[in-house]
Amino acid sequence: MKLHREGYTIMTVTAIVLLLINLGLNYWLPDGHWATGLALAASIVIFILVVQFFRVPKRLSYKSETQVVAPCDGKVVVIEEVVETEYFKGPRRQISIFMSPLNVHINWNPISGVIQYFKYHPGLYLVAWHPKSSTENERTTVVIRNHAGVDVLFRQIAGAAARRIRWYVKEGDEVEQSTEMGFIKFGSRVDIFVPLDAEIKVNLQDKTVGSVTVLAELK
């Protein structure tokens, strides 16, 4: 299993802390004490959970000039018409995907094109499903313009547990659909904003596979 570079430090620190806890318990408690066995079992489970969070799945790259693919794994929790106030300053269709701690947390570019706009916003750490998390939490805003001149905006949004957003793009970059653009550590959310005439291809509660699931068809 391939592991993401964003997890190297966390996995190393977790392993050291768990090792020290187990060594300490074995030193202070009598041989065969029930607490040492319980601590070892709990440590193995915790380390496996941390490692699986940073796994890098094998995914087939999706390439389409008109289709918007999911930028992350997760569950569709919002599909609605909204007024997007940061970039478009007008109505758009919003699709929001909630990422649980058990999901892969790599983020992929939803379309190919040139990045027209990028901004990082420091902010709060409301739970990711809170209605105000899209505008008040720590987040990034990225706008990609495809070769037909259509802009698609998406946001990486930190949640109550996710307090570290990583991105690997900047304004002016030309990016390809389904390539990696960033990472959000632990539970979080991604919002995608498409034109009102885009045909939505998912429903509420649908599970998405990042870089694979088609969210919308652009006109």
- Which of the residues 96, 134, 188, 211 is marked catalytic? 188
168: left (phi over 0), alpha (psi -120 to 50) or beta: alpha
Q: Given pLDDT bands bounded at 50, 70 and 90, which one contains residue 135?
A: low
pLDDT at 59: 80
Query: In sequence order, what are the residues at sequence separation of 6 or more whose Cβ sits closer than 8 angstroms to the Cβ of residue 151?
Result: 87, 88, 116, 143, 144, 145
How confident is the prediction for the chain on average, in pLDDT? 89
Instruction: Convert the pLDDT of each residue in 5-18 to its tens digit.
Output: 887 888 899 999 99
Cα–Cα dist 218/69, whole Å: 11
pLDDT at 132: 62
Residues 138, 165 contacting (CB under 8 angstroms):
yes
Q: How far is CA 162 from CA 158, 175, 193, in A?
A: 5, 25, 22
The pair phi, psi for residue 55, each rounded to 5°, is -70, 150
CATH code of the region 67-217: 2.70.70.10
216 has a pLDDT exceeding 70: yes
| Residue range 183-193: mean pLDDT, rounded | 85
Q: Is 211 a catalytic residue?
A: no
pTM value is 0.83
Cα–Cα dist 41/59, whole Å: 32
Return the domain boundaries, the chain: 5-53, 67-217
DSSP, collapsed to helix, strand or coil, labels residue 198 as coil
CA 192, 170, 119 angle in degrees (round to 5)? 60
Q: Given pLDDT bands bounded at 50, 70 and 90, which one contains residue 51?
A: confident
Residue with tokens 């499903």: 129
31 has a pLDDT exceeding 90: no
Cα–Cα dist 89/66, whole Å: 23
Instruction: Convert the pLDDT of each residue in 79-120 to its tens digit.
Output: 999 999 999 999 999 999 998 878 888 999 999 999 999 999
162 has a pLDDT exceeding 60: no
Tokens at 172, concatenated: 């002016």
